Structure 1
Amino acid sequence: MKKTYLFLLLSVLSINAVHAQDETSVSVVKNQFKINMLLPGFVWEHGFDAKNTLYSEASIGLGYSSNSDNSNFAFYPNINEQFRHYYNLEKRAEKGKRTARNSGNFLAANAIYNFESISTNDDYREVIPSFTIGALWGLQRTYKGRFNLEFNVGPGVNFDKYETEFVLIGNFTLGWVIGK
């Protein structure tokens, strides 16, 4: 009788082990490099575990401001750091949707440093360095041919030498994943 129970126990454990090996785990890429084309920049995304990454971007930002007399476009270098949590990779895989190269939806803690403008209208006001922190919801899709589309949005707080204000953070990029 004890041999029967032992045999059943070992059978159940071995079936579970075989079944677990059949299920491929969906995970973010360990290292991913991208080139953004709309507002030129470079991105490195490093995977810590199956669902979390550190996203680091150096790019050119675009700003617009106006008053009753003038309007002003400004281009400025910026650094964007995000800690991302991809929350729907398994669901996308179950539906047969693409998850390669971090194609999924994410929540992120975001920090952006905007440097002084490299072009500005002197008739308006100076564009000064600022620091923005916030929380984001976003999506990233990488298609065949490594074409990459990304969108994220969320609330934030912007700090500069004159004021602190609540802001809406938004970003849309088109680019290509490079490397493996």
Structure 2
Amino acid sequence: MKYSRLISFSLLFIPLMTTLAQDISSVEKNLFKINLLLPGVVYEHGFSSKNTLYSEFSFGLGYGFSDFEGSTFAFYPRINEQFRHYYNLEKRAGKGKRTGGNSGNFYALNAIYNFKSINTNSDFSSSNTSFTIAPVWGFQRTYKHNFNLSLNGGVGYNFEKDNNQFAPVINFTLGWVIGK
């Protein structure tokens, strides 16, 4: 009889404590990630309950086409900064979905600085640095074993030496959260 009460209490108490320990209304204070697709590292700092500063150093892949020059690919280092606002953490937690590792939907102001391409043939196509600013919408999920998936996109304005224009912005990462 004594053990059945203890077991019953444990079965009710443990799920409640797990839910409370997840801190459903707040983003992670510090989140470090390693990206695999286009190698890079990410640090995401939570400075309020729903807002983070996302800082990424990685490599980007670009494609260009011109009737005169043909097509070319570019592989370049880049810095990506985002001010993110996660807006659905309570809703996800209410449905029993994971919110740890900043698993949620967000909108952000994105600023990307692309360094000069490391593989462009300068005789074929020029390679300049560029700066892009864009509003984006996206989502991030952290699964078991700290596997992380993030996708965001929008339309921004690209500033380049001789060519300023509107440009699509898409960022897709696969990797792992480290240090947890």
**TM-score, scaled to structure 2:** 0.84
Q: Is the Cα–Cα contact under 8 Å of residues 104 and 141 in structure 1 kept in the other structure?
A: yes
Secondary structure (helix, strand or coil) at the match of 2:85 reads strand
In structure 1, the partner of 2:12 is none
Residue 86 of structure 1 is matched in structure 2 by: 86
Partner of 1:10: none
For residue 157 of structure 1, report the CA deviation from its aligned partner. Answer: 0.4
Separation (CA, whole Å) in 1 of partners of 2:161 and 2:148: 36
CA RMSD in angstroms, aligned pairs only: 1.3
The answer for the alignment partner of 2:70 in structure 1 is 70
Matched letter for residue 66 of structure 1: F
Q: Which residue of 2 aligns with 1:15?
A: none
The residue identity in structure 2 corresponding to 1:129 is T
SS of match in other structure, 1:90: helix
Secondary structure of 2:48 counterpart: coil
Kept after mapping to 2: 8 A contact 1:60/1:78: yes
Q: Which residue of 2 aligns with 1:3?
A: none
One-letter identity of the residue aligned with 1:41: G
Matches within 5 A, 1:9-158: 24=20, 25-26=23-24, 27-68=26-67, 70-158=70-158
Q: C-alpha separation between the residues in 1 aligned to 2:66 and 2:46?
A: 44
Q: Deviations over 1:18-65 (max 9, x none)?
A: xxxxx9442100000000000000000000111000000000000111
Secondary structure, aligned partner of 2:175 = strand
SS in 2 for 1:91: helix
Task: Provide the C-alpha distance between the structure 1 equivalents of 2:64 and 2:121, rounded to a whole number of angstroms.
Answer: 10
Q: Judge which range, 100-109 or 23-32, deviates more.
A: 23-32
Q: Deviations over 1:60-110 (max 9, x none)?
A: 000111234532111100000000000000000000001011000001011
Structure 1 gap segments, 5+ residues each: 1-22
Structure 2: any 5+ residue segments left out of the alignment? 1-18
Secondary structure at 2:145 match in 1: helix
Question: How far 1:123 sits from its partner (Å)?
Answer: 4.1
Deviation at 1:155, TM superposition (A): 1.3
Following the alignment from structure 2 to structure 1, what is the Cα–Cα distance between the partners of residues 72 and 178? 34
1:166 aligns with 2:166: yes
Shift in Å, 1:126: 1.1
CA distance in 1, matches of 2:57, 2:63: 20
Report the secondary structure of 1:93's partner residue: helix
The amino acid of 2:136's aligned partner reads L
Tell me: CA distance 1:73–1:162, structure 2 relative to 1, closer, same or farther (3 Å).
same
| Separation in 2, partners of 1:114, 1:86 | 26
